A and B are shown apart, each in its own frame.
Chain A
């Protein structure tokens, strides 16, 4: 057992309002420079939609991440070391700037200089690449809220095979937001693809970084990352990526996206994992088993043996305490309500998502004495479980349904413990505090027994 610590994030998609505050604050802090105009370490996508850059999730096109070779061994999907070096001069899988959208600013000076009385002076779009006028065709957030719009949703790779089942007619339409940052994968294909060895995973906290002094601009990380979360700075000629705000993390502060998130939906924390098990988990034959395989890599920070080994291997005691207090570990491993994004890429991503109930109100209103009503409501949710499964479990809709049921059950229990409607504020009925006894009551898991603790066995 080789214990390693990893900073990880869980995002609760039910709470994302798609305000893009995270993208804006991230951009102001990290990519507010020439050459990074189109670079969004954090972006928020409307799903269904093609994403940023266009159709990045279609690995048949972009060849990002890992695959299994004929003998079942892990291999970079875009080809091995020799092929990487042979295609150094022209990377066949690199997106072009038009897949992201030509970045632009506006010629604001014309507004200022327009002579008095000019009717509606307008500012032209100016390309950040050439400094010349340009037509605006695409951008980072082009599809915002346009889920189901023609040309958008149909091109979503996650809808492959679901078109018939998913009607995008207005009254049937569904959408949700998917905020994305770098996954700081346990088996990062960006690092594996970098011929210079400029990219690395930090041994202490698992943050994946680009050494700006060692990057030689070979661009293999950009195409190697299946999430397209390494960007090429077109001014400096170097790769840049989400840093998990490591200077803030080192100073004990949350990442800027977490700190400024309006929905307060980002949980940050430490996770312990067994580095010796990473490659075997990533090489799990069936993609649908990758979610469970990744769960098997995580270590229980309260297990005395794990703590003993971790201490022996130099992980400080306060880190171990942080790991056992970690909301991320609780959501991912203890309660198993968070799911990885596209586990089939085999990078073992470490930003996980609590899938959205849609709409929440339907589920929340379905509670009552009849527990089955809650579960019936899950089946009637607007977002097809199969769609979420294509995003989060490599197609295993059963796992998605299980999570949604647990979430619905927790909501029901929490509601039951709270005063509703006219009861609120009625004299003589104290309002229960959060974390009251009812919440701690374990909920029977409809999906049957699992490893780990009960589904809603109380706060971490």
Chain B
């Protein structure tokens, strides 16, 4: 970590770890106290025509983008070299598949964000944390897409796998490479910053529904039987969120 200023260490080590800690502790807290609020908060009931395009585009695009990040950021460059993939081939694949994912995600998020802001029925359901998560997502997406298309596809290319990726992997190995990330172009730095900010927001927003992807449905029997379990009612004030009272905002 030699050569990194205190400020750089704060920004690229301390704050990300705080965000990760909030991420972990926040999820534990939310799961224990607010499973009732743990939902995708769908607004398909209120508006279905725009959602039909926006939501699948966004979600499938995001899956592709996550897959790309796993390949690009979590898999070190020397591994792909070791199995004989030349850097140019890798870059063209990354730019091509990345652009496809980027188009899907940006198309979806434009429809979804527009719908959320402009359709009154949907807008009325939006809570402040939704706006925070949406803005961070927009920043992450835009700063992720701009270099993918502008630099890697159309421009001269930039090997983020020598700067952003080592820092990110280092976070989980408890030896983040601050100098590497600090030397990356600003747009990658904004992208990475917004990403760790999202970790901090994640457990308190509807993003938690991502952990509930119901894959188990593929195997379980269709009809679920459950025995009645008698449980004492919660002491007043100790239970989590419940149905809203009349007149309470979202």
A97 to B35, CA, bound (A): 26
- Cβ contact within 8 Å between A188 and B215: no
Q: How many residues of A contact B (CB 8 A)?
A: 52
Q: A130-B124, A203-B227 are in contact. Are A91 and B44 (CB under 8 A)?
A: yes
- Cβ contact within 8 Å between B244 and A236: yes
B156: CB under 8 A from chain A? no
- Cβ contact within 8 Å between A202 and B217: no
A395 to B62, CA, bound (A): 48
Q: A81-B217, A96-B45, A232-B45 are in contact. Are A216 and B223 (CB under 8 A)?
A: no
A194 to B217, CA, bound (A): 8
Q: A33-B243, A85-B218, A235-B125 are in contact. List 17 more A-B contacts (CB 8 A).
A: A35-B243, A85-B214, A191-B223, A192-B222, A194-B217, A194-B224, A195-B217, A202-B225, A212-B36, A213-B36, A216-B209, A219-B45, A234-B45, A235-B250, A236-B37, A236-B243, A237-B39
Q: Mark each residue of chain A from 185 to 213: 1 if its CB lies under 8 Å from any CB of chain B, else 0.
A: 00110011011110111111100000011
- Cβ contact within 8 Å between B45 and A195: no
- Looking at the complex, which of B50-58, B64-72, B147-155 is the stretch in contact with chain A? B50-58
- Cβ contact within 8 Å between A129 and B46: yes
- Cβ contact within 8 Å between A238 and B121: no
Residues of A within 8 A of B36 (CB): 212-213, 236, 238
Q: A89-B55, A204-B228, A232-B42 are in contact. Are A96 and B48 (CB under 8 A)?
A: yes
Q: A191-B223, A197-B216 are in contact. Are A235 and B45 (CB under 8 A)?
A: no
CB distance from A196 to the nearest CB of B (A): 5
* CB contact list, B214-250 vs A, under 8 A: 214-218, 220, 222-228, 243-248, 250
Nearest 10 pairs of A and B residues by beta carbon: A195-B214, A192-B222, A213-B35, A237-B41, A237-B39, A217-B39, A200-B226, A195-B217, A89-B55, A200-B224
* CB contact list, A122-148 vs B, under 8 A: 127, 129-132
- Cβ contact within 8 Å between B40 and A218: yes
- Cβ contact within 8 Å between B227 and A202: yes
User: 25 A-B residue contacts at CB 8 Å?
Assistant: A33-B245, A34-B246, A89-B56, A90-B44, A94-B48, A96-B47, A97-B45, A129-B120, A129-B124, A130-B121, A194-B224, A195-B214, A196-B214, A197-B214, A197-B216, A197-B220, A199-B224, A202-B227, A202-B228, A203-B227, A216-B214, A218-B42, A232-B42, A234-B45, A237-B40
Name B39's contact: one of A95, A197, A215 (CB within 8 Å).
A215
A444: CB under 8 A from chain B? no
A233 to B58, CA, bound (A): 24
* CB contact list, A281-321 vs B, under 8 A: none
B81: CB under 8 A from chain A? no
- Cβ contact within 8 Å between B46 and A234: yes
A76 to B41, CA, bound (A): 25
CB distance from B97 to the nearest CB of A (A): 21
Name A90's contact: one of B52, B244, B250 (CB within 8 Å).
B52
- Cβ contact within 8 Å between B220 and A90: no
- Residue of A130, A203, A204 with highest tally of chain B CB at under 10 A: A130
Which residue of chain A has its CB nearest to the CB of B59? A89
Residues of A within 8 A of B250 (CB): 235
- Cβ contact within 8 Å between A217 and B223: no
A441: CB under 8 A from chain B? no
Residues of A within 8 A of B37 (CB): 236
Residues of B within 8 A of A97 (CB): 45-46, 121
B17: CB under 8 A from chain A? no
A84: CB under 8 A from chain B? yes
A260 to B201, CA, bound (A): 48
- Cβ contact within 8 Å between B223 and A235: no
B160: CB under 8 A from chain A? no
CB distance from A3 to the nearest CB of B (A): 14
A167: CB under 8 A from chain B? no
Q: A89-B55, A197-B217 are in contact. Are A234 and B125 (CB under 8 A)?
A: yes
Which residue of chain B has its CB nearest to the CB of A96? B48
A214: CB under 8 A from chain B? yes
A434: CB under 8 A from chain B? no
Using a CB–CB cutoff of 8 Å, the interface residues on chain B facing chain A are 35-48, 51-52, 55-56, 58-60, 120-121, 123-125, 206, 209, 212, 214-218, 220, 222-228, 243-248, 250
A235 to B40, CA, bound (A): 12
- Residue of B51, B216, B228 with highest tally of chain A CB at under 10 A: B228
CB distance from A114 to the nearest CB of B (A): 23
A91 to B48, CA, bound (A): 9
Residues of A within 8 A of B59 (CB): 88-89
Q: A34-B244, A234-B46, A236-B39 are in contact. Are A84 and B228 (CB under 8 A)?
A: no
CB distance from B167 to the nearest CB of A (A): 32
A82: CB under 8 A from chain B? yes
Name B225's contact: one of A129, A201, A219 (CB within 8 Å).
A201
Residues of B within 8 A of A250 (CB): 228
Residues of B within 8 A of A219 (CB): 42, 44-45
- Cβ contact within 8 Å between B42 and A217: yes
Residues of B within 8 A of A195 (CB): 214, 217
- Cβ contact within 8 Å between B124 and A217: no
CB distance from B139 to the nearest CB of A (A): 22
A81 to B218, CA, bound (A): 6
CB distance from A305 to the nearest CB of B (A): 24
- Cβ contact within 8 Å between A217 and B41: yes
Residues of B within 8 A of A196 (CB): 212, 214, 217
Which residue of chain A has its CB nearest to the CB of B48? A96
Residues of B within 8 A of A130 (CB): 120-121, 123-124
Which residue of chain A has its CB nearest to the CB of B215? A85
- Cβ contact within 8 Å between A82 and B48: no
A89 to B55, CA, bound (A): 6
A94 to B44, CA, bound (A): 8
Q: Mark each residue of chain A from 67 to 96: 1 if its CB lies under 8 Å from any CB of chain B, else 0.
A: 000000000100001101100111100111
Residues of A within 8 A of B218 (CB): 81-82, 85
CB distance from A33 to the nearest CB of B (A): 5
Residues of B within 8 A of A131 (CB): 124
- Residue of B43, B47, B214 with highest tally of chain A CB at under 10 A: B214
Name A238's contact: one of B39, B214, B223 (CB within 8 Å).
B39
CB distance from A25 to the nearest CB of B (A): 18
A212 to B120, CA, bound (A): 27
